[in-house]
Amino acid sequence: MATLDTEEQAVVDTVREFVDKEVKPRVNELEHADTYPEAFIEQMKQMGIYGLAIPEPWGEAPVSMPCYALVTAELARGWMSLAGAMGGHTVVAKLLVEFGTRAQQDRYLPRMATGELRATMALTEPGGGSDLQAMTTVARGSDDGGYVVNGAKTWISNARRSGLIALLCKTDPSAEPKHRGVSILLVEHGPGLEVSKDLSKLGYKGVETCELTFTDMAVPADALLGGQEGRGFAQMMKGLETGRIQVAARALGVATAAFEDALRYAQEREAFGKPIWQHQSVGNHLADMATKTTAARQLILHAAEKYDAGARADMEAGMAKLFASEIAMEVALDAVRVHGGYGYSTEYDVERYFRDAPLMIVGEGTNEIQRNVIASQLVKRGGLDRW
């Protein structure tokens, strides 16, 4: 397992303390009122959470991917929505650091590092999110060398509060193969872009998820990420390695919270004259929950280390995301079981874990898509790495 250095461990410990002291006591009220966690976001800014992926000269030293994953898991242990409020932001920061022109980096990264400017990414369309190459949002070249964007995106998280949107679109709709016609535009709110609808959701409360409509939106030429058309698909696939480790870590946070609540409750609650954990079926639930959660954590750290080593990590990120999200759902359901009737009550947190867990199964590429990625990489790489 990855061991963090003292400085990075201190970052994780600070977030853990924030979650236990500030978030846990207030989360239920904010969740059920579906209130945007303005005060928590401010505290996250102060803690430097929005700058975790941004190096000098724009930010301070970025943390390692294992540290970033554990910070994400800690936030999600308190409230998955908080981890969701910084997930897309980090992917966009990584895209800018890795692929942006110097002018794009200078324009956005300093304000992103402090959280003054927040970012999201817009991939999914009403017609489909899995088959990204079939997207219909088009940026046509205009006379002034810029673009005119038309189309619609949906399920875009943090869309209202993000001042920067990494928009995946087609700059050449007739390109073959199709991915060669895909680019990323760095779009800011303005004429031609409407946040057309807020979507109502099962969980992931507090944070907005919206539909975006682009109608003849004029975008300048220098908004093209990296300054070259046709690179967007490959750029976004690299960005999604971070995104999938982030979503896996969110799932780990939810599973950890569900397990911790169940462990505590099973020692407090008595039935047939003894604490319920002593009934073998309940003890077995706890053992399975802890085993699955620990395995998920190891897979995430493995993917994070592979990412930091500079190697292609889409298979590892896919495995981590697939496993962690599936077990988060199972562990959340087991936490409901252990809590009996109270597990179904909105007074307890476990019903929230049960509503939040499915998002990680669907988001950042569904688990069916992760299996496709894993299978094709297994064939390409000739199997698993040797140990």
Residue 245 Cβ vs ligand FAD, minimum distance, rounded to whole Å: 15
**Residue of 48, 59, 62, 88 interacting with ligand FAD (CB under 6 A):** 88
Q: How far apart are CA 321 and CA 316, in angstroms?
A: 9
**Residue of 123, 166, 332, 357 interacting with ligand FAD (CB under 6 A):** 123
**Residue of 9, 46, 130, 346 interacting with ligand FAD (CB under 6 A):** 130
Contact 253, 76 (CB under 8 A): yes
Kindly state whether residue 124 participates in binding ligand FAD, applying the rule CB under 6 A: yes
Kindly state whether residue 329 participates in binding ligand FAD, applying the rule CB under 6 A: no
Which residues 225-284 are close enough to bind ligand FAD by CB under 6 A?
A: none
Residue of 211, 316, 364, 368 marked catalytic: 364
- Cα separation of the two ends of the chain: 15
Sign of CA dihedral 117, 121, 122, 124: negative
Active site residue 364: yes
Kindly state whether residue 360 participates in binding ligand FAD, applying the rule CB under 6 A: no
**Minimal CB distance to ligand FAD: which residue?**
129
**Residue of 14, 101, 298, 372 interacting with ligand FAD (CB under 6 A):** 372
Write out the DSSP string of 301-325: HHHHHHHHTTS--HHHHHHHHHHHH
102-107 LR contacts (CB < 8 Å, sep 24+): 103/222, 104/186, 104/222, 104/225, 104/226, 105/58, 106/58
Distances (CA, A) of 203 to 81, 84, 191, 199, 208: 9, 12, 31, 11, 11
Kindly state whether residue 204 participates in binding ligand FAD, applying the rule CB under 6 A: yes
- Counted residue by residue, the chain has a size of 387
Contact region with ligand FAD (CB under 6 A), list: 12-20, 92-100, 339-347, 356-364:
356-364
Residue 4 or 237: the one with the smaller Cβ distance to ligand FAD is 237
Cβ burial, residue 16 (10 Å; 0-12/13-18/19+): middle
Hey, which residues are catalytic here?
A: 364
Question: Which residues are at the interface with ligand FAD (CB under 6 A)?
Answer: 88, 120-124, 128-130, 155-157, 201, 204, 209, 359, 362-366, 368-369, 372
